[in-house]
Structure 1
Amino acid sequence: MNNCRHLIRLYSRPLLLPSIWKRAKGYKVVKRPDPKTLKMPSLADAPSLMDIIKEKIRLNGPLTVAEYMHIVITNPTEGYYMKKDVISEAGDFITSPEISQMFGEILALWFYSETSKMGTGKPLQIVELGPGNGTLMIDFLRVLNRLNYKPNDLSLHLVEISSTMQLVQANRLCAKHNECDIESPYNREGQTVSGIKIYWYNDLKKVPLNFSWYIAHEFFDVLPIHKFEHTENGWRELLIDMDENQKLYYRISGEETPSAKLLIRPPLQADRTELEISPRALGIARQLAERVDVHGGLVLIADYGHEGEKGDTFRAFHKHKVVHPLENPGQSDLTADVDFSQLRIAASKTPGVDNYAIVMGPVKQKEFLERMQAKVRLEMLLKNMQSDEQKEKLKAAFSMLVDPQKMGERFKFMAFYPSAMTEILDKHPPVGFADLSK
């Protein structure tokens, strides 16, 4: 009994450890760097894209096409869109707004016409995804000025990941502009000569949620895609590997990849042997649809694409010519035709609380422009031209836009409307998408 009391007293005492057992601090105070003072590495010190790709393959194995596109397009120092202005006759490709002012003017009139079915459309946000050289917005603003939109009636919000392209756009659109603090939701802000405010963002999610016109012209075709082929063992992903000569090549995955398990779902794979799927494109389409459904506005997508009938469209352009996409990464524009059938699935309204959007189209560019009276606009411009040379150039530009062998059928248009507009669109069919001549 005495022993028990002795043990209880012993274990009730505070435990005194020898000084050599005293625990020292297990951490070191490190001052966090100020983001405002951080700078990009110099171009001279930056590794080449090929070195980056080689190292990733060495460490992690073959790349998906989506990973490859992401590296080539968005690398901060060596990415294709990060280094230079690539949209011009001297660059790798040219877009419809650069071909003729008619294109941007007609798109602006389409937005104005369809907005009149909703109300005044003021105040208005114009949001462009991938604004290129800013030419489309210049044409938009010219039309809106004639339609009596004042500087306080609208603002421009441009989604652009490339600081180089942001500067190109700002120099064309603004009387003054400046970079913004890293804590700001926008990277750059500016103002036109007339006083219209312009903001640049690197992500659509940062754009304010207000009534907006959303325009995505040749935007979806550059978003990274996963490529799949249907084999006797099921769907397998096309990967990019490196051979013994340090040259990139395609290979088929031996097993079903996580991307195949996650992305290939009915009805995407019906009666198809090849698939190209962009999770980023599907996410942005759904985001745009939700924005217009909840906050009001319109979405217009213009891109070259198809309705699910194509499987292998991944390619590259250099100096206006098609080149192999795995050669000289970073020197060519990587692109894939937009699968509009997938955008429709992602954006269409569904039963229940989340209705998302009414989806119209796709329709061929030729049909859309002609239904928007592009020929009438052409005749007006021709009457105001003095020289035969100017007239021939304008006719050639118009032909480029509508000729089925050129852009007329390859490029297509799709629109998103708020789900609440069902009855209105039944009474007043969407201009450009419905054939009103019948």
Structure 2
Amino acid sequence: MNTRHIFKLFNNSLIPQTICRRYSYKVVKRPDPKTLKMPTPGSAPSLMEIIREKIRLNGPITVAEYMHIVATNPTEGYYMKKDVIGEAGDFITSPEISQLFGEILGVWFYAETQKMGTGKPLQIVELGPGKGTLLLDILRVISRLGFEPADISLHLVEISSTMQTVQANKLCISHREVDIELPHNYEGETVSGIKVYWYNDLKKVPNKFSWYIAHEFFDVLPIHKFEKTENGWRELLIDLDGQGKLYYRISAEETKSVKLLIRPPLDSGDRTELEISARSLGIARQLAHRVDEHGGIALIADYGHEGEKGDTFRAFHKHKVVDPLENPGHCDLTADVDFSQLRVAAAKTSSSENFALVMGPVKQKDFLERCQAESRLKVLMDNAKSETDKEKIKMAYDMLVEPAKMGDRFKFMAFYPSSMVDLLNKFPPLGFSTPPKS
């Protein structure tokens, strides 16, 4: 018998019994998501400890990473632990200052929707709804303009369970958690029977005709900070010094963010500092696509600029500006919205599809006054019960429109379906154009 036949016989008879491996499987029991619980706030590491450990393990982090951790950590994140809006919090918003603000927005949405049709059935979608005050004021207005509870549903995009509870208690007569398989994670009903749904992502909101509201939403989204050096654009990073304190440093080489985000026209002109929020650009694009594809209007209101500023990252604590690198989780981190970037992300061009007609930005003072806010102010003052109440109403209004207060700093921008170009040329959008003199 030759050698080849010997090896063949050997392989066929001996190897299977001696060295052949068999596949084996071990059953692993996965945890039930419904039974998982987050650690209580007091038992979890502090945000400073989490950030320090992340830097020690992986090196310096971007400002965007820092903002994301501070805002959204499940137990220690700024928006996860407490209600931060109002006199007792770190900042106050326009809807909390005066009911007039939300009422004017309700009238604006209704008036602009009449150019399209009835707008029924209607989804009202708010991103970062705060305490729910703005929605409450809008609902009060449109209930008098022919909208019945069956015509409306509310869809709130909110990542904080704490703020979700605040909103539910304000808006709903009943509310509850829902099955984890559903796109929304919470639901309720108003006293009049309007259905209310909560989501942790805009992508989960149904694609239907909607009013989209983003009031003081974009300013808290994470930003990347860049500086122009003699070697080109470099990213500002956050690192640890020898004493364990956080400080800024410039990246030695181009980071991925530099390569991906700094493109014309964002880096045009003689700018030496840039703040770019990739998350903001993505959401602006989503809103534009939804409005153009499925109908509706999006309204953005925030403090910001049109590309002339470069360093606006800061923190607020008890209504005062503080160092954003100190006491993470105890301060509101924010940056002025660059409306020129939102326009680039959302505007329809001759070479693109499914993007919106972009109006604005215009100053809050101009927007409110063009929407006849002074007429509404007069009604509120005439109905005031006392001179003290009148004074409070007027002071609140001045806070909204005075240039040195909110009037100039806050801007409004709107997205319309691209199919409305001829209609808007004939009937200019309310608030974004000067009404003709009577």
Smaller-chain TM-score range?
Answer: over 0.9
Deviation, 1:32, is 1.5
1:215-272: CA deviation from partner (whole Å, max 9, x where unpaired): 0000000000000000111001001011011111111111111100110000111121
Other-structure match for 1:146:
144
**What letter is aligned with 1:281?**
S
**What letter is aligned with 1:160?**
E
1:402 correspondence with 2:404: no
Matched positions, count: 436
Other-structure match for 1:427:
426
Deviation, 1:3, is 3.8
Query: Helix, strand or coil for the counterpart of 2:125?
Result: strand
Deviation, 1:37, is 1.1
1:108-167: CA deviation from partner (whole Å, max 9, x where unpaired): 110000000000000000000000000001101100111121111010000000000000
1:365 correspondence with 2:364: yes
> Which has the larger displacement, 58-67 or 347-356?
347-356
Query: Helix, strand or coil for the counterpart of 1:44?
Result: helix
Other-structure match for 1:169:
167
Distance 2:5 2:174 in 1: 83
Distance 1:417 1:229 in 2: 34
Deviation, 1:182, is 1.4
Distance 1:151 1:106 in 2: 20
Distance 2:260 2:384 in 1: 56
Query: Helix, strand or coil for the counterpart of 1:185?
Result: coil
Distance 2:279 2:354 in 1: 21
Other-structure match for 1:299:
298
**What letter is aligned with 1:342?**
Q
1:281-327: CA deviation from partner (whole Å, max 9, x where unpaired): 00000000000000000000000000000000000000000001001
Distance 1:82 1:10 in 2: 69
Alignment equivalent of 2:248, drawn from 240, 247, 250: 250
Alpha-carbon distance change, 18 to 205 in structure 1, aligned in 2, over 3 angstroms:
closer
1:348-401: CA deviation from partner (whole Å, max 9, x where unpaired): 002246141000000000000000000010011111112000000000000000
Other-structure match for 2:51:
53
1:329-356: CA deviation from partner (whole Å, max 9, x where unpaired): 0000000000000000000002246141
> Which has the larger displacement, 150-159 or 345-354?
345-354
Percent sequence identity over aligned pairs: 73
1:159-192: CA deviation from partner (whole Å, max 9, x where unpaired): 0000000000000000000011211111100000
**What letter is aligned with 2:29?**
K
Other-structure match for 2:129:
131
Deviation, 1:42, is 2.4
Q: How does 1:278-293 map to 2 (within 5 A)?
A: 278-293=277-292
> Which has the larger displacement, 253-262 or 6-15?
6-15
Query: Helix, strand or coil for the counterpart of 2:131?
Result: coil
Alpha-carbon distance change, 25 to 232 in structure 1, aligned in 2, over 3 angstroms:
same
Deviation, 1:33, is 1.4
8 Å CA contact 2:94–2:400 kept in 1: the answer is: yes
**What letter is aligned with 1:17?**
I
8 Å CA contact 2:61–2:237 kept in 1: the answer is: yes
Structure 1 stretches lacking a partner, 5+ long:
none
1:11-65: CA deviation from partner (whole Å, max 9, x where unpaired): 6973432644242545422111111111112223211100100000001101100
Other-structure match for 1:68:
66
Alpha-carbon distance change, 337 to 353 in structure 1, aligned in 2, over 3 angstroms:
closer
Q: How does 1:177-256 map to 2 (within 5 A)?
A: 177-256=175-254
Alpha-carbon distance change, 7 to 141 in structure 1, aligned in 2, over 3 angstroms:
same
1:388 correspondence with 2:390: no
Distance 1:425 1:352 in 2: 21
Distance 1:60 1:26 in 2: 36
Distance 1:26 1:302 in 2: 59
Other-structure match for 1:310:
309
Distance 1:225 1:356 in 2: 23
1:375-432: CA deviation from partner (whole Å, max 9, x where unpaired): 0100111111120000000000000000000000000000000000000001000000
Other-structure match for 2:94:
96
**What letter is aligned with 1:339?**
D
Query: Helix, strand or coil for the counterpart of 1:14?
Result: helix
Query: Helix, strand or coil for the counterpart of 2:407?
Result: coil
Distance 2:416 2:83 in 1: 33
Distance 1:111 1:281 in 2: 23
8 Å CA contact 2:293–2:354 kept in 1: the answer is: no
Other-structure match for 1:36:
34
Other-structure match for 2:266:
268
Alpha-carbon distance change, 193 to 262 in structure 1, aligned in 2, over 3 angstroms:
same
Other-structure match for 1:79:
77
Query: Helix, strand or coil for the counterpart of 1:98?
Result: helix
Query: Helix, strand or coil for the counterpart of 1:432?
Result: coil
Distance 2:360 2:339 in 1: 9
Distance 2:433 2:247 in 1: 45
Distance 2:412 2:103 in 1: 15
Distance 1:332 1:15 in 2: 74
CA RMSD of superposed structures (Å): 1.5
**What letter is aligned with 1:295?**
H
Deviation, 1:9, is 9.3
Alpha-carbon distance change, 15 to 356 in structure 1, aligned in 2, over 3 angstroms:
farther
Distance 1:167 1:151 in 2: 22
Distance 1:156 1:264 in 2: 37
